[in-house]
Chains A and B, each alone.
Chain A
């Protein structure tokens, strides 16, 4: 090795060393510290005043509209599986309101109703029900849709419901055995796979939500001009107008077969 080469390579080492010092910060995984801080009034004594001030006008407008009492419930309505007080209450009223809109907008009717469990985000309390309660129950902007599918696809739908361990529904009765639907009754008659059926549901399930692939082969689709939430509000207001309170019952519309 010539002297020139030696000098050059030594310089490269030294420069390499200095640049390594400059850029190589290595994370020390064994030193990593973790913490989860619960946002309660013990950990945080005082809320941020500036943020509260900004929220104020937004809150005032919502509060004035949300606090309106629109109905009274005789009991706490909550979600359950395979059926629940809330599931049955909401599915029954959507079935009724959906058919009203379907008749008005398309002069036809549906024989069953199916909703998705995840769409019912919160229960309804015993006593006064406010607009806010309904927003918490159904915060999403989904709209009602009626869809006509074949009896075979209805059967696939029922099997999907069975596999999920039940979904909010109205208009049919079914048993669940080994993840499949049994003894399906639509209204007063057994499911006839050679017939077509019209179902009231939401655009969420029509779009394949909850893996409801059976809606992909729709024979006819009828988008309705009402959101799920607005249908609930409309129904509750109507009951109150008729001096009726809200109630719900379990009727074994979906049950486990022994």
Chain B
């Protein structure tokens, strides 16, 4: 009898605790689901203005002011918005040649970019060029596989960042291409290129398992896919674990629908890319639900 009373008492205390924490939790979010809206661009290539009316493919499309208007509108409709770029924001119009990225970085900061990746053209002004732009950026510049520790960018480029939005932890990291043969050696100096697949595995594991991020995003300038076995987003996705979304770039691939691939754990990885020149804005809305905790307890109880 005594022990049965104790069990009842303990269960009662326990349910009170659950009740308190659950109500505190419900206060933060009335809904069963949470939604995070991810907006993205890639390879915008200094297209500050829309393409001209005489352009064969992209007449009158794009432009920073138009993109900014759309982003503002989405932010007014959605509570949890993150905005990313997958590299090569720089180079391609006289705006870059005249002002070396100053206007691109100013405007991307105003648009509220969360983080960007480093593309091969981010090196076009040399490491000094990128270093000069950093004070203009209110966003993070991420690269998990460029080691800048022996350069002036030491400690200024983070491998990853974690953004907590509405209680959801979003882990984000950047990946870049092999520089040799692609970027003029003087422009990258002592930057070390590390294997993107290895760094991705390591970083994604850390974000998902150690940091317990609810969503892991890779900003990749590796390119969508290649005929040969060069490392690409498709190659990365197939052999990966712990990555939910790859926002890609470099190959200027217009994916009207994202490509969904099963990773090595047979889980979905979404790959996206919006071509180039800032003619499109990509959007992915992720929904989250509370994991069923009852199962968790049952399994534990059985073990005992």
Show the binding face of A for B, using Cβ within 8 Å: 3, 6-7, 9-11, 13-29, 31-41, 43-44, 46-52, 54-55, 58-59, 61-62, 66, 121, 132, 135-136, 139-142, 203-204, 207-211
Q: Is the interface of A mostly helix, strand, loop or mixed?
A: helix
Specify which chain B residues have a CB less than 8 angstroms from the CB of A23 in the assembled complex: 212
From B64, B97, B297, give the contact of A139 (CB < 8 A). Answer: B97
From A3, A11, A48, A204, give the contact of B68 (CB < 8 A). Answer: A48
Give A43's nearest chain B residue, CB to CB. B70
Specify which chain A residues have a CB less than 8 angstroms from the CB of B214 in the assembled complex: 25-27
What size tier do the contact residues of chain B reach? 35 or more
Q: Is the interface of B mostly helix, strand, loop or mixed?
A: mixed
Specify which chain B residues have a CB less than 8 angstroms from the CB of A40 in the assembled complex: 60-61
From A21, A36, A37, A46, give the contact of B18 (CB < 8 A). Answer: A21
Least Cβ–Cβ distance between B242 and chain A, in angstroms: 12
| 9 intermolecular pairs with C-beta atoms under 8 Å apart | A10-B10, A14-B13, A16-B297, A40-B60, A46-B69, A48-B69, A62-B94, A66-B94, A139-B97
Beyond known contacts A27-B244, A35-B283, A55-B107: 12 more, CB 8 A cutoff: A11-B10, A17-B297, A18-B22, A29-B244, A32-B270, A35-B284, A35-B285, A41-B60, A47-B65, A48-B69, A55-B48, A209-B181
Q: Which 10 A-B pairs have the closest CB atoms?
A: A14-B14, A24-B291, A47-B65, A48-B68, A208-B181, A20-B293, A51-B65, A25-B288, A31-B287, A48-B69
Are the C-beta atoms of B285 and A39 separated by less than 8 Å?
no
A46 CA to B288 CA, complexed, in Å: 33
A52 CA to B60 CA, complexed, in Å: 15
Give A29's nearest chain B residue, CB to CB. B268
**Is B3 located at the chain interface by the 8 A CB criterion?**
yes
Are the C-beta atoms of B181 and A15 separated by less than 8 Å?
no
Least Cβ–Cβ distance between A8 and chain B, in angstroms: 9
Specify which chain B residues have a CB less than 8 angstroms from the CB of A11 in the assembled complex: 10, 13-14
Give B288's nearest chain A residue, CB to CB. A25
Are the C-beta atoms of B274 and A36 separated by less than 8 Å?
yes
Specify which chain A residues have a CB less than 8 angstroms from the CB of B106 in the assembled complex: 54
CB-CB under 8 A for A141 and B124, given A25-B214, A27-B288, A35-B283? yes
Specify which chain A residues have a CB less than 8 angstroms from the CB of B25 in the assembled complex: 21-22
A21 CA to B212 CA, complexed, in Å: 14
**Is B67 located at the chain interface by the 8 A CB criterion?**
yes
Specify which chain B residues have a CB less than 8 angstroms from the CB of A208 in the assembled complex: 180-181
Least Cβ–Cβ distance between A202 and chain B, in angstroms: 10
Q: Which of B235-290 contact A (CB under 8 A)?
A: 244, 255-258, 267-268, 270, 272, 274, 278-290
Are the C-beta atoms of A48 and B65 separated by less than 8 Å?
yes
**Is B152 located at the chain interface by the 8 A CB criterion?**
no
CB-CB under 8 A for A10 and B70, given A22-B25, A25-B288, A140-B124? no
Are the C-beta atoms of A33 and B285 separated by less than 8 Å?
yes
Are the C-beta atoms of A37 and B70 separated by less than 8 Å?
yes
A10 CA to B15 CA, complexed, in Å: 11
Are the C-beta atoms of A139 and B91 separated by less than 8 Å?
yes
Most chain B beta carbons < 10 A, residue from A10, A11, A136: A10
Are the C-beta atoms of B72 and A13 separated by less than 8 Å?
no
Are the C-beta atoms of A50 and B49 separated by less than 8 Å?
no
Specify which chain A residues have a CB less than 8 angstroms from the CB of B285 in the assembled complex: 32-35
**Is B205 located at the chain interface by the 8 A CB criterion?**
no
Specify which chain A residues have a CB less than 8 angstroms from the CB of B10 in the assembled complex: 6-7, 10-11, 14
Specify which chain A residues have a CB less than 8 angstroms from the CB of B61 in the assembled complex: 38-40
Are the C-beta atoms of A13 and B6 separated by less than 8 Å?
no
Specify which chain A residues have a CB less than 8 angstroms from the CB of B6 in the assembled complex: 3, 6-7
Give B106's nearest chain A residue, CB to CB. A54
Specify which chain B residues have a CB less than 8 angstroms from the CB of A55 in the assembled complex: 48-49, 64-65, 103, 107
Are the C-beta atoms of A58 and B103 separated by less than 8 Å?
yes
**Is B224 located at the chain interface by the 8 A CB criterion?**
no
Task: Mark interface residues in B126-148 (1 if CB within 8 Å of A CB, else 0).
Answer: 00000000000000000000000
Least Cβ–Cβ distance between B166 and chain A, in angstroms: 9
Give A4's nearest chain B residue, CB to CB. B6
Are the C-beta atoms of A3 and B3 separated by less than 8 Å?
yes
A141 CA to B70 CA, complexed, in Å: 33
Least Cβ–Cβ distance between A113 and chain B, in angstroms: 19
Specify which chain A residues have a CB less than 8 angstroms from the CB of B189 in the assembled complex: none
Are the C-beta atoms of B21 and A10 separated by less than 8 Å?
no
A16 CA to B301 CA, complexed, in Å: 12
Most chain B beta carbons < 10 A, residue from A25, A40, A49, A139: A25
Are the C-beta atoms of B49 and A6 separated by less than 8 Å?
no
Most chain B beta carbons < 10 A, residue from A16, A18, A27: A27
Are the C-beta atoms of A51 and B107 separated by less than 8 Å?
yes
